[in-house]
Amino acid sequence: MKRQLKNLFASKQQKESAAAELSSDKIPQHVAIIMDGNGRWAKSHGLPRIAGHHSGMKTIKRITKAADRLGVKVLTLYAFSTENWKRPKEEVEFLMKLPQEFLSIELEELHENNVQVRMMGYKEDLPEHTLRAVEAAEERTKHNTGMVLNFALNYGSRKEMLNAFKEMAAAVQTGELQPDQITEELYEQHLLTRTLPDPDLLIRTSGELRISNFMMWQLAYSELWFTDVFWPAFTEEHFHEAIRGYQQRARRFGGL
């Protein structure tokens, strides 16, 4: 409680000094986040689940700015998984409206800040209105050279990997590819992340300790950071705490 109050009243100066404690030469290039706990946050405030998702959308703005300020190059946010269609229809419909709402409010500011908005996931299953909003944002920001804000929307790692296997198997079948030519690098060219570096840091909010079908190949050597804080309550200070934790890790990538 004390900590929460402290965060609530943290001044701009305090926030800047928290950021200043971070070493600027060890900022993760790619941060991926599993934004979890919207429903439980809503319940704890006596609100319907969708209010949690709406509040979670506001956290996206906060953390996008924080990441950009620190010099993060790619911020990937797990907004909707290939399994999330199993949720009640009303909740899915609400979630599918959020990209549109978020982008109608934030796109211009993102664009002014040179942010590239991208979507990673299976576009074919999205409702027309969601797809239109996302594609318009991608188109508007495609020449920007700043941070990539990558929304994992209708994304699932197993599907991504299976598709990659199928594409490579088809190439083997036609004789274009020999099985021994299949390397990590070639396989990665078939993943949805083909233009992105692997995440250096994965953050999952809400106290769950799972990967939930998120970037399973790409996370092989990522540092993992779990926090009990629900996504709607996740602040810039919490984000800095995760980055600070990351900076204290020794990354060996299997070496010594």
The catalytically annotated residue of 7, 68, 84, 150 is: 84
Between residue 144 and residue 163, which ones bind ligand FPP under the rule CB under 6 A? 151
Residue 38 binds ligand FPP, judged by CB under 6 A: yes
Chain-centroid distance of CA 93 in Å reads 20
Give the footprint of ligand FPP on residues 41-70 (CB under 6 A): 53, 56-57, 60
Q: Does 204 bind ligand FPP (CB under 6 A)?
A: no
Smallest distance, Å, CB 203 to ligand FPP?
A: 13
Taking CB atoms, the residue at the shortest distance from ligand FPP is: 39
The tokens describing 47, both together, are 């609100």
Q: Which amino acid appears at position 166 of this protein?
A: K
Is 36 a residue of the active site? yes
To ligand FPP, the closest distance from the beta carbon of 157 in angstroms equals 15
**Is 84 a known active-site residue?**
yes
Q: Is 212 annotated as a binding residue?
A: yes
Smaller CB distance to ligand FPP: residue 19 or 110?
110
Residues that bind ligand FPP (CB under 6 A): 35-40, 53, 56-57, 60, 79, 84, 95, 98-99, 102, 151, 206, 231
| Residues recognised as catalytic | 36, 84
